[in-house]
A = this chain, B = another copy of it.
Amino acid sequence: MSNEQALKQYDVKKYRTPDGYTSDIAVFTILSAKTEAFKPPAMDLHIMLIKRSMQDSEGRPNIEAGKWALPGGFVDPGETAFQSAQRELREETGVDHIHLEHFGVYDTPGRDPRGWIISNAHYAIVPEHQLASRAANDDASEVELFPVKDVLNLDLAFDHARIIRDAIDVIKQKLLESTVAKEFLPEEFTYSELQAVLLTVTNDSAIALDAAFARKIKTLPFIQEVEGKKTSRTSKKPTQLYRFIVDIEVNNSIYHAKKV
C-alpha cells in the first residue's frame, strides 16, 4: 500500500503531544455492616483509595504528597489504558479477573500540575473477601476503604474529587440499569442479599419492602430460581436461592413496557 511512502515523510514530532497517559481505577466493594447468623446482610458501598507517599520510589518529594487518590498509573507503551488498569489493579491490590469498565476520560488542561496528562477512568467491582490481601506499595503509604457518602470530604489529589463523584454516579446507575449487581454477590444468592446490594444505591419502596421484592425477583427475566436449592445463611427458614442468567439481553427502552 502507498501508506509506506506517506509514512516516510510523516514527522511524528510535528504536533505537540501529551506529557502523559494514565489509567485510574475507582475500586468499589460492598462491606457487610454486620454478619450475624440467620440475618439478612446490611450493606454499605465503599471505595478504595490510596494515600500518596511523601516521597516517590526514588526518594524525592512526591507530587500531591499526603493526599488521598485513586489507584492508577502510567500506561506503558504497547498496552491499552484498559490493560494498564488491569495491571495496576493486579499489582496494587493483587486482584485479578474482576469486573472492570472504562467510564470516562479526564483531559482538562491544568488537571495535573506535571503537564498535559490524560487519564482514563475505570470502575472496578471487587467482592469484599478479595481485598483481604491489599497492601500499600511504593507510591502509597496507606490503603483504605471509605463509605461513598463520606469520601468527598477527604483531601483528594489532582481532580480526583470530580472523577470519584462521576464514578459514584456511574456505579449507582449501573447497579440499577444493568446486571452488574451480580459482581457483588455469590453465584447463588437469596432475594434479601440482592435487596441489600440494591439498597446501597436506592430507597425505592418496590425494592425496600420485603414482600414486594420477594415477589418481584421471580418475575425478573434475567434472574432464575435455582430449583429446589435453599440456604439457611440469612434466616432460620430455609430460603430460596437465585442466580443471574448470563448473557440475557436487558431491554432498557424508555418507550417500551418493562416486560419483554
The reply to whether A10 and B255 form a contact with Cβ atoms under 8 Å apart is no
Known: A3-B63, A18-B18, A20-B17. A252 touches B254 (CB 8 A): yes
CB proximity to B under 8 Å, residues A180-221? 198, 202, 204, 206-207, 216, 220
Is A16 in contact with chain B by the CB < 8 A criterion?
Answer: yes
How many of chain A's residues touch chain B, expressed as a range?
Answer: 35 or more
Is A228 in contact with chain B by the CB < 8 A criterion?
Answer: no
Is A231 in contact with chain B by the CB < 8 A criterion?
Answer: no
Convert A12-23 into 0s and 1s, putting 1 for each residue whose CB lies closer than 8 angstroms to a CB of B.
100111111100
Known: A81-B107, A118-B118, A216-B255. A9 touches B60 (CB 8 A): yes
Convert A71-110 into 0s and 1s, putting 1 for each residue whose CB lies closer than 8 angstroms to a CB of B.
0001101111100000000000000000000101101110
CB proximity to B under 8 Å, residues A1-59? 2-3, 5-7, 9-10, 12, 15-21
Q: Identify A65's interface contact among B2, B61, B79, B109, CB under 8 A.
A: B2
Residues of the B chain whose Cβ atoms lie less than 8 Å from the Cβ of A116: 77
**Chain B minimum-CB-distance residue to A194:** B255
The reply to whether A65 and B17 form a contact with Cβ atoms under 8 Å apart is no
Main secondary structure of the interface of A (DSSP, over half): loop
Is A239 in contact with chain B by the CB < 8 A criterion?
Answer: no
Count identical subunits in the complex: 2
CA distance A20 to B253 in the complex (A): 38
CA distance A258 to B251 in the complex (A): 11
Residues of the B chain whose Cβ atoms lie less than 8 Å from the Cβ of A19: 12, 17
The reply to whether A254 and B17 form a contact with Cβ atoms under 8 Å apart is no
Q: Identify A105's interface contact among B12, B120, B252, B256, CB under 8 A.
A: B120
The reply to whether A6 and B77 form a contact with Cβ atoms under 8 Å apart is no
Is A128 in contact with chain B by the CB < 8 A criterion?
Answer: no
CA distance A62 to B20 in the complex (A): 27
Is A131 in contact with chain B by the CB < 8 A criterion?
Answer: no
Stretch from A134-142, A144-152, A162-170, A171-179 contacting the other chain: A171-179
Closest 7 CB pairs of A and B: A176-B253, A6-B61, A258-B258, A177-B252, A6-B63, A12-B19, A5-B61
Q: List 21 A-B contacts (CB under 8 A).
A: A3-B63, A3-B64, A5-B61, A6-B65, A12-B114, A12-B115, A16-B77, A17-B19, A18-B18, A21-B118, A77-B116, A78-B109, A176-B254, A176-B255, A179-B254, A198-B255, A204-B253, A204-B256, A206-B255, A216-B255, A252-B252
